[in-house]
Amino acid sequence: MTKAYDQFINLQKKLKEVSDLAGFSESFYNIIREPERIIEANIPVKMDDGTTKTFRAFRSAHSSALGPAKGGVRFDESVTYEEVKVLSTLMSLKVSLLGLPLGGGKGGIVVDPKKLSERELEALSRGFVRAINNYIGPRIDVPAPDVNTNAKIMGYFTDEYIALNGGKNDIATFTGKSTDMGGSLGRTEATGFGVYLTIKKYYEKIGKSLKGATFALQGFGNVGSYTAKYLVEDGAKLLAINSKDHNHPNSSYGVYDDKGLDIEKISEAKEKTGSELNIEGKKITDDEFFALDVDILIPAALENVIDETNAGNIKASLVVEAANGPVTEAGEAILNEKNIPLIPDILANSGGVLVSHYEWIQNISGSYWDEEEVRNKQEKDMGKAIEEVFATSEKYKVNYRQAAFILSLSRIEKALKLRGRI
């Protein structure tokens, strides 16, 4: 069985466990255990060499109980049907945890976008919108960026959508757009800023300062790089990064420096050489990276990277899921045993979809906010969710993931009852 399949089964187990703990009915569990709708498509693209290739694609809308589906689209070779099911379910929990009037969605295309030319990438992006056109829209399902997708791709998506729908200028169908075409200020930094906020709040709670706190970061994409930036600005020290070696796919390693790595230099290396790992420092293996003696360990890349093979060696006193689903069920059981607190993905990385929601509001209202307004509102809205998770964890004597699940599920359950579905 694939890891994504296991992950889906484990997520269902977790949903059941939390439903039982909070006293929700079997009928409720029967609704939320599977997404409401999944589209599977094969998208043909005429390649530059004259051949035609087809790419498998998916879009899952997990729940419409609280509002239109919302969530990113990833372009990655590791995308599977089960993975989008897992990730769309997590999105339902994430938006509900923030108290947003949205449901969960996620999409993906099985592709390595680095192997496509610019023209092929645009054709694939437009083909994806053609495949899901009848199932998206500001009040139906609102896609956004995710792994390997960005504002540029959202531009292609939006343009194709408008062309397909008689020129109706519904730019609120997508978020994460460039600010030059209706995107929100603060959206690009939002996820990393939110990861930083959760860590800051946790440190406040335990009465510690972030000054001098050390951290290790896996992944230096949009989420990882901004997380590192805000943490370092607040006095924390980045001791190591770990990443795929983009110049040698299938291999990954880390770079460590006990004096602290320079974020500017990492960004520069990534821009100039294609790999953030081309910096000075000691080369370390993946296993050495996860076993580093740091205060905070932040997986900010893909799923299932902390599992039974490495969780036992973790020395960090806090694990923060900046990526979606980076810790497996078995990995989490080990962390629980070792009493290492974990800030779950649906809280830690919720800043992205939160500011996406602000973008959606701005597009629909036609009135735009300045950066300070976005930043202050994000701080306030995420601060509330973080406090609620801490309080629920104490009330039910459960870990932060279970607390976050209880809060999210209770809002979805209430809405389903009010709609007469259960």
* Footprint of ligand GLU (CB under 6 A): 70-72, 94, 144, 146, 175-176, 324, 349, 352-353, 356
Tell the burial category of 96 from Cβ atoms under 10 Å away from its Cβ (0-12, 13-18, 19+): buried
Q: How far is the CB of 71 from ligand GLU (least distance, A)?
A: 5
CA distance 395 to 391: 6
- CB distance 104 to 69 below 8 Å: yes
Name which of 122 and 359 has its Cβ closer to ligand GLU. 359
CA distance 389 to 44: 44
> Which residue matches tokens 């060499």?
49
Q: How far is the CB of 146 from ligand GLU (least distance, A)?
A: 4
Name which of 203 and 230 has its Cβ closer to ligand GLU. 230
Name which of 192 and 352 has its Cβ closer to ligand GLU. 352
CA distance 88 to 73: 10
Which one is catalytic: 70, 94, 106, 177?
106
Q: How far is the CB of 118 from ligand GLU (least distance, A)?
A: 23
Distance of CA 326 to the CA centre of its chain: 10
Tell the burial category of 316 from Cβ atoms under 10 Å away from its Cβ (0-12, 13-18, 19+): buried
**Do you know the residue count of the chain?**
422
Q: How far is the CB of 91 from ligand GLU (least distance, A)?
A: 6
Distance of CA 175 to the CA centre of its chain: 14
CA distance 355 to 375: 9
Q: How far is the CB of 237 from ligand GLU (least distance, A)?
A: 27
Q: Strand pairing of 141-145 and 69-75? A: parallel
Is 384 annotated as catalytic?
no
Name which of 203 and 220 has its Cβ closer to ligand GLU. 220
- Letter string b/e over residues 4-37, b meaning 16 or more CB atoms within 10 A of that residue's CB: bebbbebbbebbeebbeebebeeebbebbeebbe
Distance of CA 173 to the CA centre of its chain: 19
The per-residue DSSP string of 224-250 comes to HHHHHHHHHHTT-EEEEEEEE-TTSTT
Q: How far is the CB of 90 from ligand GLU (least distance, A)?
A: 8
Greatest CA separation for the chain: 62
Task: List the beta strands (DSSP E) in 308-366.
Answer: 318-320, 342-343
Name which of 170 and 262 has its Cβ closer to ligand GLU. 170
Q: How far is the CB of 309 from ligand GLU (least distance, A)?
A: 26
Separation of first and last alpha carbons in the chain: 33
Q: How far is the CB of 142 from ligand GLU (least distance, A)?
A: 7
Name which of 237 and 411 has its Cβ closer to ligand GLU. 411
Name which of 173 and 402 has its Cβ closer to ligand GLU. 173
Name which of 122 and 141 has its Cβ closer to ligand GLU. 141
Taking CA atoms, 229 is separated from 306, 372, 373, in Å, by 23, 18, 20
DSSP 8-state class, residue 137: B
**Which residues are catalytic, by number?**
106
